[in-house]
Structure 1
């Protein structure tokens, strides 16, 4: 798709609002049509949460046109690519969907438990007691974990939630092309690797030495509608996956 620059603020707002409203309608329609099976409760919860996350990322991105550039936009797009591959892998094996959804939940609970333990260890290291605010926060987090699985039964996994690399998940889910052409390129932006910062955050020195060296740069970039198009495309891709697999 050819990039289109937009300068009319009113037009931008109209596009963003229509984009956000349409996505919310699409999400609600699918959720209402999906019959709840309480014997597979975790599957419904995880799929619903991930679909909502995909829509949320796209909607929030749409509401901030200043982010429709190659400094910030790819951070949203990389997160959306991650959501899609996760959904695709959970859906991939019908007989394992519930187990995969449960693993996703348990991993997240373990990560929250680990963060809570890290906070407590840091406070203890400083030789002080929890403040009232910290204690209330700690109790709130523990209650959130316990409501789903008692924290003392919650295991902490410091690896991958699926026990696979994201590439392997994409291969098994049949979306390796999406990994190669979307997830991997945007990962370079998310991790500030040279293929990104070497293009967008340096420029040739105005007084070059024989080596023609590069110096830091933080250029302003115009909003590019193509990035909003990408966000919409990834959201639509997740919704279509749901239509095909759910």
Structure 2
């Protein structure tokens, strides 16, 4: 039996080391689960988020979240008077992944952005570049809504002094023909994004629009009502209250 086991082992070694043999990938590391009540290691979480984005799983989940929104818009828009949809911008319509990655997920509101893909990169400087790419599933939502004759409103926490750069960015990546871009007044402060966004949706309904869908990446984008349905897109990168 011992001789047989040694021979089998030797054969296995030959098979895995012979010329032309396909090397087997190493087993993934076993995740370290912290004790109950102890948070996960921040470095591990960042690495997990990067893998999630770069593997394509993030885009797959974006498509899965957008699909029911497209189906609902397609069904509902022809049924109502003055149909409209509301879209958030950052991590909903436009992706800031390049600056998030460059800054290692830290937030630098001020300062220049001279050396992407290397950081640091100031957020205001990045947004003024107007180089953020479109999030493809959201562009599909936009195209569907406009093709059916719905009005599209962009509702964002970006301040008003970024209007020109934001409009240029939206137009460049394909969001053409939207109805209105609604931005926060410069210097305004809100406890929650919902405190700004919900009243803006209410205002649109008072103007006679039926908001059939409200799409965002943060729960605070959707809180407060004044839309028939709300659709949350995945965003594991940051949280806005």
Point out the structure with the larger strand share: 2
Question: Fold match, TM over 0.5?
Answer: no
Point out which structure has higher relative CO (alpha carbons under 8 A, 6+ apart): 1
Give 1 or 2: higher helix fraction: 1
Bigger Rg over Cα: 2
Query: What TM-score, normalized by structure 2, do the two folds share?
Result: 0.29
